[in-house]
Amino acid sequence: MPFLRNAWYIAALSKEIEGTALIGRTLLGEGVLIYRLRSGECVALRDRCPHRFAPLHMGTRVDDDVVCPYHALRFDPSGRCVHNPHGNQKIPAAAKVHRYRTVERYGLLWIWMGEPERADDSKIVDCSRLEIGHPNGVAYGYMRFDANYKLIVENILDLSHADHVHGLIISTRGELSKLIPKMHAEDRYVTARWDWKQTPAQQVVASFLPNPEAEARQFAEVHWHAPSNMLVTVGATQSADPKDVLQTWDYHFMTPETESSTHYFFASRRTANWIEEDAQYNQLKVTAMLQAFEREDGPLISAIQKEMGSSDFWSLNPVLLSSDPAPVRARRALEKLINEEASAGQASQPGT
């Protein structure tokens, strides 16, 4: 199944694109060169010289341009060749590389791999929560993972796995599993929400509540936005006052590298009442999120990927449980969007 191309994906965390570094990263099966101009603006170019196909990220940076490592064609940030040291130095008309539309927003570099004229940055999902509050209350992370991105989307969209895969720190001790989540879905997004009470609250939040041992009202809401941008909001409170709610916003962004590997970016923000200014706690939380995925979800998802092989998901006749309507709806919605794009001939790949 092809990738949805007319969509915004994350290419990199802002903090990854530092100094004069030339970053080569495969996105949707396509080599992309990412770097930051002296002005601070980010650039994403097709990472393949049009002459002999050498990856430009192996080349050198000269001012805001990049010089091919093989025969030294020099490309400016628009992707235009601006210098050819060979022969009469005339620049062939075809000597250019595609520049992808990008937007740097919320500490993330967003990239549009589809038809440039359809790129509309007002369609970038709202992650403004990341920018509200003390700088110590936000954190970013990245890992590369060997599995199809849809398996990770479904893992997050069905939080009912948390009680069974993860340890005591985030387990609801079975409370969440019992619920039938409320779902809301549109063409390009799906939301699932769980509300419950437990005594005491999840360990991760209990000690920050007024009465750590007492009952708390909790909720978790997962929002999927096609193709693979997600927000998980979780909260807990023992008060009737909304401002007392302890809450986190965890953003998960899955960008396909290939059919069977994924760039997994995440970003997290806490409310002010949840030791927002504690940078050490912040670091601990990001490390814990990384480790939970790598040690707990990750090995399972890898094993599932291996078991599925190249089989179509539906051909394996999956049994559906009470938390499956949301992930199933998201998978169907994504398949529909991809099919529409394919049949409209919109899947043209300008970068290749």
Looking up tokens 């409320």 gives: 182
Contact 190, 326 (CB under 8 A): yes
Should residue 168 be labelled a site residue for a copy of itself when binding is judged by CB under 8 A?
A: no
Should residue 280 be labelled a site residue for a copy of itself when binding is judged by CB under 8 A?
A: no
- Measured over the CA atoms of residue 199, residue 285, residue 235 and residue 183, the dihedral's sign is negative
Helices 298-308 & 149-157 angle (0-180, nearest 10): 130
Q: How far is the CB of 299 from a copy of itself (least distance, A)?
A: 7
Q: How far is the CB of 352 from a copy of itself (least distance, A)?
A: 8
Scanning residues 237 to 276, which ones bind a copy of itself (CB under 8 A)?
A: none
Indicate which single residue of 37, 132, 169, 180 sits in contact with a copy of itself (rule: CB under 8 A).
Answer: 180
Three-class secondary structure of residue 279 per DSSP: helix
Instruction: Give the burial class of 187: count Cβ atoms within 10 A of its Cβ; 0-12 exposed, 13-18 middle, 19 or more buried.
Output: exposed
Indicate which single residue of 13, 14, 50, 350 sits in contact with a copy of itself (rule: CB under 8 A).
Answer: 50
Should residue 154 be labelled a site residue for a copy of itself when binding is judged by CB under 8 A?
A: yes
Should residue 165 be labelled a site residue for a copy of itself when binding is judged by CB under 8 A?
A: yes
Q: How far is the CB of 35 from a copy of itself (least distance, A)?
A: 18
Residue closer to a copy of itself, measured from CB, 207 or 311? 311
Q: What is the largest CA-CA distance in the chain?
A: 80
Query: Where are the extended beta strands (E) located within 146-225?
Result: 182-185, 189-198, 216-225
Should residue 314 be labelled a site residue for a copy of itself when binding is judged by CB under 8 A?
A: no
Contact 6, 118 (CB under 8 A): yes
**How many residues bind a copy of itself, per CB under 8 A?**
50
Query: Where are the extended beta strands (E) located within 128-227?
Result: 138-145, 182-185, 189-198, 216-225
Should residue 28 be labelled a site residue for a copy of itself when binding is judged by CB under 8 A?
A: no
Indicate which single residue of 4, 10, 17, 95 sits in contact with a copy of itself (rule: CB under 8 A).
Answer: 95
Binding site for a copy of itself (CB under 8 A): 31, 48, 50-55, 58, 68-73, 84-89, 92, 94-95, 154, 158, 160-161, 163-165, 174, 177-180, 299-300, 303-304, 307-308, 316-323
